[in-house]
Amino acid sequence: MNRNKNRFWAAVCRVLAVMTVTLMVALILAPGARAAATEKVLYSFTGGSDGSTPYADLILDNSGNLYGTTFKGGVYGYGTVFELTPNPHGSWTESVLYSFTGGNDGANPEWGALAFDTANNLYGGTLGGGEYGGGNLFELSPNLDGTWAESVLHQFTDKSDGAYPHANPIFDAAGNLYDTVAAGGAYGCGTVFKMTPGSNNHWTYHVIHQFGGRPPACAPWVGFTPDAAGAYYATTRNAGKFCNPGSRDCGTVFQLTPTSGGGWTYKVIHLFSGGKGGADPSVGGLVFDGQGNLYGATEYQGAHGYGLVFKLAPGAGDKWTYQVLHQFKGLQDGGNSTGRMIFDAAGNLYGPARSGGAYGYGVVFKLTPNQNGTWTENAFYTFSGSDGANPAAALISDSAGNIYGITVAGGAYGAGTVYEITP
């Protein structure tokens, strides 16, 4: 009797073992199967003189150093410009290049990004401070002793020139600087401007477009994405989260094209409808693929109220076709994406979602294209809080395919992090 029982259980064990191996092989070979991504916190902000609450995108220099800003903290509490330098043994060292005083030099750099010119000077903007309280544009220049000196290029008056830059400056080949501000201007809805360099570091400010007229658009929140022909693309927020489905106040994607006479042509290429069509393409920014299609995300509304990822495809007659690639549910897949996405070499899209995930602290998501034109989304990395919380800004990648970003909160001190994800 015992011998028969032993034979029975031995047979059961063999069957279960075969089933387990079969299942493991199936999972490994299944479409979309992947190894888990590895996240590493490069720096946890303490909330003190090193800074706190980073919102802005990171940038990389040619030596692999990372640069960004914090909204708060620093010596005076009004935010910082920082650099992260990699060490030989894998750690990173943070250096504060500048602490804002809250006076004429500016205060609280928020969404956007820094930019280098060809002489390795850094440019950016502050949301507040300045002579008129409407923020400013600044330049940081390296000194021989390793310190950095700040100079103010423009003080926003909250009049026709605009106010409150969420700066993401971009340079053309002639060294002119282009950007947007989210408020002020002729109609109170912000402007697109151009800064032309002159002698003795004097810059001349020109308004290219005033928002708030017709067609309706208001509050451009981030800088531009250029195409190969010299046109610029960006988004406006409008009423965003609070817009009514079907109304004309849910945000836009617009195009600015230079004309032969030195002017610019402004055109709205998509008007968000709210509801399932999404609303508030606020701080995410846009990214092109190799075929000239534009991709972005809305922070709010959508089918489940947590925003969506979209694609705009150019067509005949300068018409653009809008396609929703993913509707966020606010659960494991994340929600409320606010950072520009990036492509990998295989054509997959990665982006940050500041909410949702298994722990509610947000995810970095991955969108994989399918042969039938649809896309499959999964949470590529899920934040748990100690490793960061609420990833908000754009993702960037290095030549090895490593992904870098920031979280607004979480980390060892709850003041935000800079992180690296290795696919």
Task: Write out pLDDT tens, residues 343-354.
Answer: 999 999 999 999
Note the pLDDT tens digit of each residue in 373-412: 999 999 999 999 999 999 999 999 999 999 999 999 999 9
Q: Is the pLDDT of residue 277 over 80?
A: yes
Give the pLDDT score at 25.
33
Tokens of 141: 């220049």
* Residue 18 or residue 263, greater confidence: 263
Provide, rounded to the nearest whole percent, the portion of the chain with pLDDT above 70: 89
pLDDT: which is higher, 390 or 20: 390
**Confidence at 245, pLDDT banded by 50, 70, 90:** low
d(CA 20, CA 336) in angstroms, rounded, equals 38
Question: b/e string for 393-422 if b means 16 or more Cβ within 10 A?
Answer: bbbbbeeeeebbbbbbbbbeebbbbbbbbe
Query: Is it the case that residue 284 has pLDDT exceeding 70?
Result: yes
Output the CA–CA distances (angstroms, integers) from residue 84 to 65, 188, 417, 418, in the order listed: 6, 37, 12, 9
Round to whole Å and give the CA distance between 234 and 406. 22
Note the pTM of the prediction, 2 decimals: 0.89
Handedness of CA 85, 69, 80, 143 (dihedral sign): positive
pLDDT over 60 at 154, yes or no: yes
* Mean pLDDT calculated for residue range 152-163: 95
Lowest mean pLDDT among 65-69, 131-135, 223-227, 402-406: 223-227
The CA-based diameter of the chain, rounded to the nearest angstrom, is: 100
Q: What is the pLDDT of residue 127?
A: 95
Q: What is the pLDDT of residue 377?
A: 97
The pLDDT of residue 212 is 85
Encode pLDDT of 307-335 as tens digits.
999 999 999 988 999 999 999 999 999 99
> Would you say 341 and 321 are in contact if contact means Cβ atoms under 8 Å apart?
no
